[in-house]
């Protein structure tokens, strides 16, 4: 079955608020990488630092901001010398669909291929594909069926 999508993307109030909102939070060079590291189980400051090669002052600032936006939480894991680590919140975990989409894209369209399996279906072990799902039609279709129909630009 062939389904085509219409991109509508209306601006309600602010110009293109929704994506900008998200990008205002994770739209810099490091935040998404931090989330990915978090998904891989990294939690400590120095580990983030070593794993990503991010500069320490920037890491400090970025983690603080991500905590502020509720993506990571700063948890004390030790008292003696008081130490904190950073854990993904539910909101942070909820970014995974975006990460998966990013990985999938690189697999399909990036010149330098790098097969980096990120998500598997628990029960059967197959790689997952990402799809669109229409609630009322109950149908699923992949990004390949996507077709851009530009609404004729107004003024």
Q: By C-beta, is 63 or 95 nearer to DNA?
A: 63
* DSSP conformation class of 32: H
DSSP states along 63-105: HHHHHHTTSEEEEEEETTTTEEEEEE-HHHHTTHHHHHHHHHH
Q: Please give the size of the binding site for its own copies, defined by CB under 8 A.
A: 90
Query: What is the C-alpha separation between 148 and 136, in angstroms, rounded?
Result: 22
The reply on whether position 56 binds its own copies by CB under 8 A is no
The reply on whether position 143 binds its own copies by CB under 8 A is yes
Q: Which residues bind DNA (CB under 7 A)?
A: 28-30, 44-47, 53-58, 60-61, 63, 74, 80-85
The reply on whether position 49 binds its own copies by CB under 8 A is no
Q: By C-beta, is 55 or 128 nearer to DNA?
A: 55
Query: What is the C-alpha separation between 16 and 13, in angstroms, rounded?
Result: 8
Least distance to DNA, CB of residue 89, Å: 16
Query: What is the C-alpha separation between 103 and 116, in angstroms, rounded?
Result: 8
Binds its own copies by CB under 8 A, chosen from 49, 58, 67, 99 = 99
Assign residue 138 a region (left: φ > 0; alpha: ψ between -120 and 50; beta: otherwise).
left
Least distance to DNA, CB of residue 14, Å: 16
150 binds, among DNA, its own copies, none (CB under 5 to 8 A by kind): its own copies
């Amino acid at each position: 079955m062939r389904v085509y999508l219409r991109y509508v993307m209306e601006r309600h109030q602010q110009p293109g608020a929704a994506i900008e909102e998200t990008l205002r939070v994770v739209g810099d060079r490091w935040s998404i990488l931090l989330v990915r590291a978090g998904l891989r189980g990294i939690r400590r400051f120095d580990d983030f630092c070593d794993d990503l090669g991010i500069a320490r002052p920037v890491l400090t600032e970025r983690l603080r901001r991500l905590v502020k936006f509720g993506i990571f939480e700063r948890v004390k894991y030790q008292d003696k010398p008081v130490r904190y680590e950073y854990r993904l919140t539910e909101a942070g975990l909820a970014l995974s669909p975006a990460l998966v989409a990013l990985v999938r894209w690189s697999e399909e369209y990036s010149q330098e291929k790098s097969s980096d399996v990120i998500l598997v279906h628990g029960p059967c072990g197959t790689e997952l594909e990402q799809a669109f799902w229409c609630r009322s039609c109950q149908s699923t279709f992949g990004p390949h069926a996507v077709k851009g129909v530009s609404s004729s630009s107004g003024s």
